[in-house]
Amino acid sequence: MQAIRLYASSERVYAHATAVWSPAAFMRTRASEETTMTDFAGLYSQNAKNMKKSTIRELLKLTNKPGIISFAGGLPAPETFPVEDLRVAADAVFTKCPEIGLQYGTTEGDSMLRAELVKIEAKDGVKVGVDNILVTSASQQALDILPKVFLDPGDWIIAGHPTYLGAIQAVQSYRGNILGIPFAAAEDGFDMDELERRYAAHRAAGKFVKYLYVIPDFQNPTGICWSLEKRKALLRFAYRENLVVVEDSPYREIRFVGEHIPSLYQLEREMENRNIVVGLRTFSKILVPGARAGWIIGHPDLIAKFVVAKQAMDLCTNVFTQRWLAEFLATGKLGSVIENTKANYRAKRMHMLEQLERYMPKHPELHWTRPEGGLFLWLSLPGFINTDEMFHKAIAKNVAYVVGSAFYFGEPEHNSMRLNFSYSSKAEIEEGIKRLAEVVREEMAAHGG
């Protein structure tokens, strides 16, 4: 017989040191305390304690107010969803292969879907086989698998400063740290001098980086697209320092201006072919985000490790969805959906740029990116304006954005915002930018700017 202490919380200590352990006594104790116990904090793991609530998602709740024009979310335009073709593809799962689509599947992913994904990669200049592919519950799951596999508490990754909030959240939930690298003024990728400088200081302090996380095509949140030279320079850096490069590419296909640039995955194959790049792909921005389906490409050894990590999460990605998507892809219609989406966003992006030009007050420190693809642009304001504080004034005027500070870790900047141009109609874009410009003008006047 063993005397035990059941659990402790920060406020109250539940000591059962004198109790004699028995399962029945344990259950009785738990049941009787269930009604009174309100403080769970003492039970949380260190990982859970490190999980941060998403600022965006909290703020987004405010943007549901009726009448609001929201540039805040990252939603694709629903009019780009090929609803009828997707319905037919879903029916095909029921009629052609219910014994597959309604059954458990392998963790690696549905064989028909993976065969289609090999073709999608080939179209993008990437030669992979099915062994290089793991189907995931969209990219966000891949972003959770990576730190799970690579990071011990206290380990570091390198990422853009700012970068995608969901990646920050995932890394932090495994108690990983992020070394942030600012973007070059030319908006063509990282400031490589800063990368060298910050990395050297980091190593000198005995800190250990595991991987580089980048979104080379139309980054969330800034819309920046990496030049070919910067992509190569980043790979050379990774080779030299023996780092894995994670290339997150949800927006890659959504290019509406300029020339196609090879992915890091393709370039690495053409350079030293050391298999250091892990590619994250998703259907969320090229088809429908509700499918929650994406895929990782990488060396088969890495894929095998990711498979084990994913098994504990969900055994396999939703099997029905995978077959449904495979049936849709087999029609060969994805290309025209992407073309349609690009045309839609090209027009809206142009319209938003024109409205910004037209309505925003002129100031040397007030400028915005002109993304060649993706869903977002990044607006920078004079340093004396705090967009976190201004947010509530914008909501009062029925317009919403995402505060730039949400995309930073460590030392956030407070004078920027992310604007989404894919979701609103052109009329809403005009009216919304007009309202936003008014808020900015008032804020500048209040600060004597």
Minimum CB distance to ligand PLP, residue 287 (Å): 11
Within residues 214-273, the interface with ligand PLP by CB under 6 A covers 215, 220, 248, 250
Closer residue to ligand PLP, CB minimum distance, 266 or 284: 284
Angle, vertex CA 23, rays to CA 17 and CA 29, nearest 5: 60
- Out of 160, 162, 166, 298, the only residue in the binding site for ligand PLP (CB under 6 A) is 166
Q: Does 294 bind ligand PLP (CB under 6 A)?
A: yes
Closer residue to ligand PLP, CB minimum distance, 220 or 424: 220
Other C-beta atoms closer than 10 Å to the C-beta of 314 total: 12
Closer residue to ligand PLP, CB minimum distance, 156 or 164: 164
d(CA 71, CA 402): 8
Minimum CB distance to ligand PLP, residue 418 (Å): 10
Binding part of the chain for ligand PLP, among 37-45, 133-141, 412-420, 438-446 by CB under 6 A, reads 133-141
Q: Does 176 bind ligand PLP (CB under 6 A)?
A: no
Residues 6+ apart with CB under 8 A from 154: 175, 176, 177
Residue 245 burial class via C-beta count within 10 angstroms: exposed 0-12, middle 13-18, buried 19 and up: buried
Number of residues that bind ligand PLP (CB under 6 A): 14
d(CA 327, CA 92): 7
Q: Does 132 bind ligand PLP (CB under 6 A)?
A: no
Q: 406: which 2 tokens?
A: 């949400």
Q: Does 289 bind ligand PLP (CB under 6 A)?
A: yes
Closer residue to ligand PLP, CB minimum distance, 210 or 252: 252
- Out of 63, 263, 284, 369, the only residue in the binding site for ligand PLP (CB under 6 A) is 284
- Out of 63, 70, 139, 416, the only residue in the binding site for ligand PLP (CB under 6 A) is 139
Closer residue to ligand PLP, CB minimum distance, 390 or 402: 402
d(CA 227, CA 215): 12
Q: Does 164 bind ligand PLP (CB under 6 A)?
A: yes
- Looking up tokens 């340093």 gives 383
Closer residue to ligand PLP, CB minimum distance, 179 or 215: 215
Q: Does 138 bind ligand PLP (CB under 6 A)?
A: yes
Residue 133: which of 105, 108, 106, 104 has the closest Cα? 108
Closer residue to ligand PLP, CB minimum distance, 74 or 355: 74
- Out of 140, 169, 321, 369, the only residue in the binding site for ligand PLP (CB under 6 A) is 140
d(CA 411, CA 392): 22
- DSSP, res 279: E
User: What are the E-state strand segments in 163-319?
Assistant: 177-181, 209-214, 244-248, 277-282, 294-297
55 to 166, 339, 388, 402: CA distances (angstroms): 11, 33, 11, 9
Residue 220: which of 419, 54, 424 has the closest Cα? 419
Minimum CB distance to ligand PLP, residue 249 (Å): 8
Closer residue to ligand PLP, CB minimum distance, 266 or 317: 317
Binding part of the chain for ligand PLP, among 58-66, 126-134, 136-144, 311-319 by CB under 6 A, reads 136-144
- Looking up tokens 């080379």 gives 216
Other C-beta atoms closer than 10 Å to the C-beta of 121 total: 22
DSSP labels for 144-195?
A: HHHHHHH--TT-EEEEESS--HHHHHHHHHTT-EEEEEPBPTTSSSB-HHHH
Closer residue to ligand PLP, CB minimum distance, 92 or 246: 246
Q: Does 404 bind ligand PLP (CB under 6 A)?
A: no
Minimum CB distance to ligand PLP, residue 111 (Å): 22
Taking a C-beta distance cutoff of 8 angstroms, is the pair 196, 79 a contact? no
Closer residue to ligand PLP, CB minimum distance, 169 or 387: 169
Q: Does 80 bind ligand PLP (CB under 6 A)?
A: no
Contact residues toward ligand PLP (CB under 6 A) are: 74, 138-140, 164, 166, 215, 220, 248, 250, 282, 284, 289, 294
